[in-house]
Structure 1
Amino acid sequence: MTEFPKLLMILGAVLFAAGFIMQVIGKLPGDIFVKRGNITFFFPVVTCIVISVILSLLFSIFGRMK
């Protein structure tokens, strides 16, 4: 039962870090934002690319550790 609280703390830290990163890089130049009347459309193209590159690098680094 001692592993479960550690897992929850790690999960909470990861979620906090992800939220912080989304606040910092949430609206980069190149993201699509259209507002017409009552309709708002937002698609973070550049943000998705940046997150994809960061995750690819992290998975590559952690994959080599095995």
Structure 2
Amino acid sequence: MQRLLITIGIVLVVLGLLWPLLTRLGLGRLPGDIMVEREGFRFYFPLMTSIIVSLVLTLLFWLFRK
């Protein structure tokens, strides 16, 4: 359990450090992401971004298990 918590912490720190670089990839502005903007209201649901991140993580976990 401790190893898992340390690993999750390290991953979060690395993602935090790489965040400025990740924003340049265009994730969050893909076709398929739902954005509704009205006066005084903004709704954003990153549907396609979530699917792509899920597929990449699934592939990585699958590769590390082998």
Provide TM-score, normalisation by structure 2: 0.68
- How much does 1:13 deviate? 2.8
SS in 1 for 2:35: strand
Aligned partners of 2:57 and 2:36: how far apart in 1? 28
* Structure 1 equivalent of residue 45 of structure 2: 43
Per-residue CA deviation, residues 20-66 of structure 1 (Å, 9 max, x unaligned), is 33x112210110000111010000000000000000000000111xx
Give 5+ residue unaligned stretches, structure 1: 1-6
| 3-state SS, counterpart of residue 29 of structure 2 | coil
Aligned equivalents of 2:38, 2:49: Cα separation in 1: 22
Identity of counterpart residues, as a percentage?
37
Aligned to 2:29: 27
Which is greater in Rg?
A: 1
TM-score (ref. length: structure 1): 0.68
The CA RMSD over aligned residues, in Å, is: 1.8
Instruction: Give runs of ≥4 in structure 1 deviating > 4 Å.
Output: none
